[in-house]
Amino acid sequence: MKELNLTVEKRDETGKGPNRRLRREGDIPAVIYGPETDPISVKVNYRTLYRLMHEVPLNTIINLDINGDDTPPRKVLIRDLQKNPVSGELVHLDFHNIPMDKPITLTIPITAVGIPEGVKTFGGIVQYAKREIDISCLPTNIPEKIEIDITALNVGDSIHVSDLELGDVEIMTEPERTLITVVAPTVIKATAEEEAAAAEAEEAAEGEEGEEGEAKEGDAKEGEAKEGDAKEAKGKDEGRKK
């Protein structure tokens, strides 16, 4: 795994006020910590950091040099990226100083490779149950990425943690945990048929109400006609009597 080189500068002031000023000037406040290491407050230029880490996994080892410091560069990992929850702006960094001769524990993302048979043949859908796993290894054995071949998966098949083989890397996540599965496609046709049936039932109900209304209106008109005929007959009868 390749290593990156980064130079930072010490910062004497800490706290919200000084940190805000740093960010306005284009720097990010950070701290270096680790076993047998006293915390060191530093600042790193945002543009320099972005160019260095763009499209590079966070589990990449960085040779961190403190400008003006006589000590050799430290081997560090970025352990924490703190961002503003509203703007998404990077506000703080944690660099973890790591010993190269001792195992460290870290989280590595997983990536599916290939198109499963269940997707090509039956229209299945790939679902991630977990997108990362915890591992333990020497810093020199940190994998750049973990790719999982899923081409053989059919609908209903899954990849579990126990299916992974990572050589000198010890997997810390529970073996029975599901990582990726292929599920049956959503039955859109059935849903459409149900909606169509409901629409037809509603139209039928509206039609019945219309017919019933028309029938009632017809009965009323027929009643009015009969009443008129009765009045007319009564008038004629009274005329004959006279």
- For the chain, 242 residues long, the average pLDDT of each consecutive 10-residue run is 90 86 92 89 94 87 92 91 90 93 92 95 94 94 91 96 94 96 73 66 64 55 55 52 48
- What are the pLDDT digits (tens) for 86-107? 988 899 999 999 999 999 999 9
Nearest CA among 78, 81, 55 for reference residue 6: 78
Task: Kindly report, residue by residue over 116-154, the tens digit of the pLDDT.
Answer: 999 999 999 999 999 999 999 999 999 888 999 999 999
Residues 102 and 24: their CA atoms lie apart, in Å, by 39
**Single-letter code of the amino acid located at 110:** I
Concatenated DSSP letters for 122-166? Answer: H--EEEES-SEEEEEE-GGG--S-EEEE-TT--TT-EEEGGG---
Q: Which two tokens stand for residue 203?
A: 């139209």
- Name which of 33, 25, 23, 28 is nearest 9 in CA terms: 28
- Domains detected in the chain: 4-97 (2.40.240.10), 104-183 (2.170.120.20)
HSE-CB of 18 using CA atoms within 13 angstroms:
10
Please state, in angstroms and rounded to a whole number, the distance separating the CA atoms of residues 83 and 216.
Answer: 71
Instruction: Kindly report the pTM of this predicted structure.
Output: 0.68
C-alpha span between 112 and 131 (Å, rounded): 9
What integer pLDDT is reported at residue 159 of this predicted model? Answer: 97
* DSSP per-residue letters across 189-208: HHHHHHHHHHHHHHHHHHHH
- The answer to whether residues 133 and 148 touch, using CB atoms and an 8 Å cutoff, is no
